[in-house]
Every structure is written in structure tokens, then in C-alpha cells.
Structure 1
Amino acid sequence: MERHEPPLSTQRLFRMVVLDIDGTLLDPSDVVRPVVRAAIAECRQLGVPVALATGRRLCATRPVLAELGLPLPLVLVNGALVWDAEREEALAERPLARQALARALAEAEREGLGALALRGLASGERLVLVTDPLPALPEFERELLPRTGELDRLPAAAVVDLPDVLTIDLFGPERALRRATARLARAGLPVYHHGPFELIPALPRWVANVHAPGVSKASGVEILARRFGLTLEDVLAVGDGENDLPLLRRAGLGVAMGNAPDYVRAQADAVVRGHDEDGVAEALERFVLEPWRRARSLA
């Protein structure tokens, strides 16, 4: 695996750490390894706050916080929700406006794609399966209902009027999905592709998240950074996916995991080992802990 060394100008003291969860913080067994946990704890002991930035919703992220035993700040749903886990309150929520919802669902209808909407906190993060005129997805109902316990069904015309949709997830064959998302991106809507739908691997469907204009992990982290009196230049960010790229590009140092796709690694400032080899611990040791120890020894 290639290793990118950041330029000397980036060998500085980062004052905030932001970690992606899936494929980054969690190993292939979906657990946080002890060495990663220890590196996070040492960052916090040095006074460097650690936050998580993920495409997950809040209820799916709480188990990760419980495993860590830490009330870390959260950027959720790719930046559509920013959450203060210590105070248990939202710092920002960025739903799609009616026009954006209508455009996303029109593109889904045009390409014969399925759609799933995620509503905000006031609605209990409810999932809505978008129906008529979009295609029925009975396999989604069979798989998602037992997993989530909640799944509403609404026609597209009713979904357009919902005031709190944080993301529309589109599902379909890759070529059809990319035709739709290319048009949505040209219309100014952020789109993040995730490849095949992981919850139902047998389905020949890809998934993409569509958000309100300006929503990204970078925009969410910027809100958190300001609360600490910092900017994105003070942030070390680690991730592995397409939805991490806006943050990796704008952070003071963007670090890609070794398990990230080639196009993600190519756009990062540095590359570390994969999540099967404690890559997060390597990133924190090289770019945060070692510089802070050196600075303290010289003080």
C-alpha cells in the first residue's frame, strides 16, 4: 500500500480530529479496536477534541458512542444534522426544500429508481418509502422493516410537502442512478454514491444520498470547529469514502484510509493503513500525538 507523506508545511499542531465511522473508525468486524480507542483517548487528554462525521443517522450512531463510552460531537447524515452528544441537542439541521425534493423525485421517476426519505429529529428520524409513481420495492420492506421497526409509505406528492427530509436515498442500476445523480449535481444538489446497497447485498441496486445545497461533512464540521474557536484548517480529518471527500479537501490535513478507493486516496494529503490494520491509530499517532509530544518536550 502506498504511503503519502504530507509536506513539511503541514507538520503542525492540529487542534481537532474528525473521524469517519464505517470503513475508518470501525474495523471489518464493526468494532473499535483497543489501539484506536487508546489513540482517541490520548488526543482528548491533550485537549484535542475528537468528533465523528458519518452518513449514518443519530439512532444508528448511538451504539458507536456507547462502545467508545464517550459523548463525542457528531456530524450526521453527511452533514445534514450536527449533534451535541454531551447536551443531547441539535446544533444544526439542514432539510431539503420543497423544490429540491421535487427535483430529486422527478429524476427518480424519470430513471425508474426507488427512493427512501429520512426525516429529521422532530419526526423521530422516520424512514419513508416513496411510492406512486415510483416503483414498489417489496424487498426493501421485507429487509428494512425488521431492521428498523419503522417504515412509513407515502406517495411522491406527499413526500414533496414534508418539511424535514434530511436526505433522499435513490436506488437503482448503476447506470440509471448515475444519469439521475449527474443531473441533480448540475442542479446544485450534493450527491454521494455508495455503490451496491449493503443491507441487501443480493440486490443489483446502487445507492446514492441526495442532500440540500451546501450540505457536506465539511459544512457540518465547520459548525463544530467554530464552537471550539477553530477553523477547518485546524482539523485533521480521516475517511475512506466519496462522502468524505469534501472534508478531506478542506481540512488542514485530509487523510485517506488504505482501504479507500483509488480516487479517494488520490485526493487525500496522506494515506495510512486500512481499517483492518488500525489505520486511524496510525493517523492519530503520526499527525497529532507525535507533534504534540514534541512540542511539549520543547516547551
Structure 2
Amino acid sequence: MEKHLILFDIDGTLLNDDMRISKKTIDIVSSLQKKGHLFYIASGRLLSSARSYSEMLGKNIGTIAANGSVYTLGNEIVKNRLKDEAVSAIFEACKIYPKLQLRLFSTDTAYGMGGMLQAFMNLASNTKFKKIKSKADLNRLDPFITNGILCANDLSVLADAKEFLKDAPSLCLSSSSEHNIELIPSGRSKAAALKDVSQKYGIKPQNTIAFGNGENDLPMLIESGHGVAMANSPRHVLEQADVVTKSNNEDGIYAFLSKYFAEDLES
């Protein structure tokens, strides 16, 4: 079988609800690597966090992080910056809607305004945090910001903020849950990174497989030759995927790969 590029979202896809990667998934990835296939993690997380799961999955697993703003090509790290005009619009939204909680990310650090949400507590073991109160604070630190996220418990606040930011320059909006807005540099996405990686390694578009479960995975599922949604995905993701596999708690990745690569695994 020709070489394939296979990508996994992390939360709700590669990880089960206990935040673990199943042994079946680890074993089949190892077997398919020996057949020459290429694997990548594709996440909205910081590079430092996403890479830790690449290492858990196995050796020589590539990483797409920050919703496609950062990705690895062997030992090289490709980074895209969130432009200053986009960052300014984000801080303006936070002034207008003070219930928003903001995190802006470099490859290893979260710069935050507002209380720390549980979602970020889960990353604390491999992510540095620095509190900021304004854009001036951020400018003094002068980090290379790759992406960000706005969170709120009040969905109406998020809806208003999304409307405010929808035409902001150099900024693309997405979401990985109903309680957040993902902030991404224009032109970047998991799909854009998938395209960059597949072209770099000479892998045909029809030989790419992407697994995901969220809105921010949709461009990647659509761009790939085989977009596979987990059964635990929202309805609009399920409807736009090429294939629906079992849930993240039912070894959905293994279920699809073992069937798709059955002949390759037997040879």
C-alpha cells in the first residue's frame, strides 16, 4: 500500500475520557509505522503540550499544534505569528466583554487574563503560565504569539464577542467547545498544516486520513482524503465527515485503522 499520512486530534479523539491513549491505538500505530506510514498529532494545544502526547503515542510522531500555526518537519519547527493588529482586536474585545477569559500562547507558555479555567489546569504540568493585565504587559514580554483562546461560561457573551471579532484583521475564528473561541492567524488551520506536511513528504491527498471530533477539526477532515469523525462528535461534525467511527471511549481510531489497513497489516 502507498504511504499514508494519518493525523489525530487529541482531546475527544486520541484520548479517552480518562485522558489516556489506549494500548490498541499505540500498538496499531507502531505496526503501521513499520509499514512506512507517517503519523501526526494535530491539536489546538501549545507545542509543548501537544508534543508530550506525540511522545506517549510512539517514536517519530510529528506534531501539529496551535490549530496549525505551529508544526514539526523532522527536527524543524515551523511557526506562524498572530499579528499585532489581530492581538489588538482581541484585547479590545476583552475590554468590551469583561466576562471573557483570555489565553494567548507561545510554543511553551500561556499568557492569561482572568481566572484560570479547568481546561488550562489540565495543561499545567507541561505549560508555563504568565499573568498579564493588558496588551502593554504582553508587549513588554514580547513573546512570539502563535494563537489564543477566549472562554466564557455565558454563551451569549461568547456569541457577542465572536460577532465583534468576525471581521478583525489577520484573525481566523474557530471553536473546540461551545464555551470557547479559538483565535488563529489568518490562513492557518489544521487543514493548512496537513497540506504543508503532505506536500513536504510527497504524500498524495487521497492518502491522507484525519481523525477529529470538534469544529476546529472540520477543515482538516474536509481537506483530508478520508475525514473520520469520532462517534462522540457534535452532529454538524458527523454530518460533514466522510466516515464515522466508534467513540473515543470505544477505540474508534483502532476500529477504523484495523479495517482500512487490514491487508497491509496481514502482509
TM-score by length of 2: 0.86
Counterpart of 2:171? 189
Contact preservation (8 Å) 1:221, 1:232: no
1:211 alignment partner, SS class: strand
Report the CA distance between 1:140 and its aligned residue: 5.2
Indicate the structure whose relative CO is greater, using CA pairs within 8 Å and at least 6 residues apart.
1
Contact preservation (8 Å) 2:112, 2:130: yes
1:91-102 map, 5 Å: 92-102=78-88
Aligned-partner Cα distance in 2 for 1:153–1:183: 22
The one-letter code sitting in structure 1 at the alignment partner of 2:146 is L
Can you list the C-alpha shifts for 1:170-210, whole angstroms capped at 9, x where unaligned? 122211112212342344622222336xxxxxxxxx22220
Contact preservation (8 Å) 1:98, 1:160: no
1:165 alignment partner, SS class: coil
Counterpart of 2:148? 168
Which of 39, 43, 46 aligns to 2:32? It is 43
Q: Mark the CA change 1:74 to 1:66 in structure 2 (over 3 Å): closer, same or farther.
A: closer
Report the CA distance between 1:293 and its aligned residue: 5.8
Counterpart of 1:115? 102
Aligned-partner Cα distance in 2 for 1:156–1:109: 11
Q: Mark the CA change 1:20 to 1:193 in structure 2 (over 3 Å): closer, same or farther.
A: same
Contact preservation (8 Å) 1:19, 1:51: yes
Deviates more, 1:28-37 or 1:57-66: 57-66
Q: Which has the larger radius of gyration?
A: 1
Report the CA distance between 1:158 and its aligned residue: 4.0
Can you list the C-alpha shifts for 1:201-247, whole angstroms capped at 9, x where unaligned? xxxxx222201101110111122112211244321111111110010
Calculate the aligned-residue CA RMSD, in Å.
Answer: 2.6
The one-letter code sitting in structure 2 at the alignment partner of 1:244 is D
Counterpart of 2:68? 79
Report the CA distance between 1:149 and its aligned residue: 5.2
TM-score by length of 1: 0.78
In percent, how many aligned pairs have the same letter? 23
Report the CA distance between 1:284 and its aligned residue: 1.0
Structure 2: stretches of 5+ with no match in the other structure:
none
Counterpart of 1:20? 9
Aligned-partner Cα distance in 2 for 1:215–1:129: 22
Q: Mark the CA change 1:16 to 1:149 in structure 2 (over 3 Å): closer, same or farther.
A: closer
Contact preservation (8 Å) 2:5, 2:37: yes
1:110-149 map, 5 Å: 110-112=96-98, 113-120=100-107, 125-130=108-113, 137-138=114-115, 144=121, 148=127
Can you list the C-alpha shifts for 1:254-295, whole angstroms capped at 9, x where unaligned? 0100111111111100100001110000121233x136469x
The answer to whether structure 1 residue 290 and structure 2 residue 258 are counterparts is: no
Contact preservation (8 Å) 1:14, 1:235: no
Q: Mark the CA change 1:111 to 1:27 in structure 2 (over 3 Å): closer, same or farther.
A: same
Which of 57, 64, 78 aligns to 2:46? It is 57
Contact preservation (8 Å) 2:3, 2:207: yes
Counterpart of 1:151? 130
Aligned-partner Cα distance in 2 for 1:253–1:237: 6
Which of 67, 71, 92 aligns to 1:106? It is 92
Q: Mark the CA change 1:159 to 1:232 in structure 2 (over 3 Å): closer, same or farther.
A: farther
Which of 9, 18, 21 aligns to 1:29? It is 18
Aligned-partner Cα distance in 2 for 1:28–1:283: 19
Structure 1: stretches of 5+ with no match in the other structure:
1-11, 131-136, 197-205
Contact preservation (8 Å) 1:233, 1:250: no
The one-letter code sitting in structure 2 at the alignment partner of 1:25 is L
Aligned-partner Cα distance in 1 for 2:264–2:164: 45
Aligned-partner Cα distance in 2 for 1:34–1:194: 26
